[in-house]
A and B are shown apart, each in its own frame.
Chain A
Amino acid sequence: MRTREAIEALAKRRGEAIAVCALGMAANEWWGATRSEDSFYMHGAMGFAASFALGLALSLPQAAVWLINADGSLCMNLGCLLTEASQAPRNLKHFVIANGVYQTVGALPMVNEGRTDYAAIARAAGLVRARTVESLDALEQLLPGIVAEDGPSFTVLRVEPESGFLRTPPMTYEGPEMKYRFGRALERKLGIEVFGPQGY
C-alpha cells in the first residue's frame, strides 16, 4: 500500500472527525488529501501529536478525534500508549502510517528496522483494539468497523517507503495562523469557545 492510498482511504471515511497529524509526511499527505482546517498539523514537538490528540479528545468527549501518526513520531513517544490506555477515551482513534523510514529527511531507515510490532506494543500497554493492516484491500474492508468501534483504538497501516524525499507540499499556512484557523474551525463546528471575547 502506498502512503497516499492509505491516507486517502482514511480521509474518505473520516466523517466529522477532527484530525491531529504528526509532523512531516503524515501532516503533508493529510493536507494534500483533505485541505481541511479542522485538522491540526504539527510542525514541531515530534512524537507529541499523540499527546495533543489525547488532550483534545479528553476535552471534547462529544467529538470524534483521529490521530494520524507516523512510526518515526510514535517511537519518539512510546509512552503515549500507556497514557492513552490509562485514560481510555472512547472518542480517540490512533492511526500510524508505518513505512519504516524517516521519509521526510530522505527515507533513512528507522531504529530496529523491520523488527518492531507496534500493535503488539500497544496491546501490551493496554490498548485492546490494536491491529496492523498490510494492504489497501484489507484497509478498505476493515475501516467501517474501525470507524464504528469505540476507542481507544490503534491501527498500524503498513505502507511502502517512497524513494528519497516525499515531495508532497506542506499546508499553506503555519505558526499562529495554524492556531487560529484550527481553533476557529472547532468553534464553528462544535459551538465551543476556544478564544475569549477579546480573541486570545
Chain B
Amino acid sequence: METAAQIHAQLSKCGVTLAASLPDDWVAPLIERIAADNRIRHVRVAREAEAVAICSGAFFGGVRAVALMGATGLLTCTGELATLNLRHQIPVFLIVSQRGSIDDHRIYQEVQGRRTIPLLQAYDFPYHVIDRSEDIGSIPDAFETCRMQKRPFVLFLTRRLVKGEGTAL
C-alpha cells in the first residue's frame, strides 16, 4: 500500500472525520486522498492557523480532527497554537512535512530544518517523527497521546517516507 494510503487508513482507525489542510508538495498526496474520502469532511483553508482553529472547534463538537500542512505553515501558526491550544489545553493533531532535513536540498527550507524542533521544545509541544512505512502504525498511539497531553501534537513525515530514498536537488 502506498504511504498516503497507509496514513489515511491509520487516521480512519483513529476515528478522524474532519481534516483541515493547506498543502505543501510533500503532504499533497495525502491531502488529495483524504479529500476523496466522503467519510471525512475536508476543509481547505487559506492560512494554516485556520486549520488549527477549525480542528479546535471540532474538538468541542466531539469530532476527531487532523490539521495537515507543511513545515513553513507550522511556523506561521505557533502564536495561535500557544494562545488557543496551550492556553486552554485543547488538543490538536497536526501532520506536518519535516522540511529542511539533510536530504531536502531546498535553500528556502533550511531554517525550518534547523529551528522547528527547538521551537516545539520551547513551547513544550510533543512531536513524533514517522521516517519509515513500518512506523505508520504508531499513528493511533500518537493521536491518543495528543488527547491525553491536551496540547498541540506534531506528527512529522520525513522526506524518505513520502518521497523515498535519495536526495532532492
Interface residues of A in 72-113 (CB under 8 A from B): 77, 79-80, 82-83, 86-87
A44 touches B63 (CB 8 A): no
Q: Which residue of B lies closest to A83 (CB)?
A: B45
* In contact, A192 and B50 (Cβ under 8 angstroms): no
A200 to chain B, nearest CB (A): 6
B75 contacts chain A at the CB level, 8 A cutoff: no
Interface residues of B in 58-111 (CB under 8 A from A): 58-63, 65, 79-80, 82-84, 87-90
Contact B79 A45 (CB under 8 A): yes
Contact B56 A82 (CB under 8 A): no
Q: Please, which residue of chain B has its CB at the minimum distance from the CB of A194?
A: B62
Asked whether A44 lies within 8 Å of B50 as measured between CB atoms, the reply is no
Q: Give residues 40-88 of A contacting B (CB, 8 Å).
A: 40, 42-45, 47-60, 77, 79-80, 82-83, 86-87
CA distance A149 to B39 in the complex (A): 28
- Interface membership of B11, Cβ < 8 A: no
Contacts of A51 in B (CB 8 A): 45, 49-54, 57
The answer to the question of A159 belonging to the interface, with a C-beta cut-off of 8 Å to chain B, is no
How many contacts A-B (CB < 8 Å)?
A: 124
Instruction: Please report the C-alpha to C-alpha distance between residue A87 and residue B47 in the assembled complex, in whole angstroms.
Output: 15
Complex: A196 Cα to B150 Cα, angstroms:
12
Give chain A nearest CB distance to B56 CB in angstroms.
6
Q: Separation in Å of the B18 CB from the closest CB of chain A? A: 7
Whose C-beta in chain B lies nearest to the C-beta of A40? B60
B55 within 8 A of A: yes
CB distance from A194 to the nearest CB of B (A): 5
Name which of A8-16, A127-135, A163-171, A175-183 contacts chain B. A175-183
Chain A residues, Cβ within 8 Å of B65? 55, 59
Given A56-B58, A183-B60, check contact A48 B84 (CB 8 Å). Answer: yes
Residues of chain B contacted by A83 (CB below 8 angstroms): 43-46, 50, 54
- Given the interface contacts A44-B83, A175-B87, A179-B89, does A52 sit within 8 Å of B54 by beta carbon? yes
CA gap between A196 and B49 in the complex, in Å: 26
Task: Check B168 for interface membership: any CB of A closer than 8 A.
Answer: no
Bound complex: CA A51 to CA B53 (Å): 5
| Interface contact A55-B61, CB-CB below 8 Å | yes
Q: CB distance B41 to A58 under 8 Å? A: yes
Instruction: List 12 other contacts, CB 8 Å, given A43-B83, A55-B20, A83-B50.
Output: A44-B83, A44-B84, A55-B57, A58-B57, A58-B61, A59-B57, A77-B49, A175-B89, A178-B88, A179-B88, A179-B90, A192-B61
**Interface positions of A (Cβ within 8 A of B):** 20, 40, 42-45, 47-60, 77, 79-80, 82-83, 86-87, 175-176, 178-179, 182-183, 186, 192-194, 196, 200
17 inter-chain pairs at a CB distance below 8 angstroms, sorted by A residue, are A45-B52, A48-B52, A51-B45, A51-B49, A51-B50, A52-B54, A55-B18, A58-B41, A58-B54, A59-B62, A79-B50, A80-B50, A83-B54, A86-B44, A179-B88, A186-B62, A200-B150
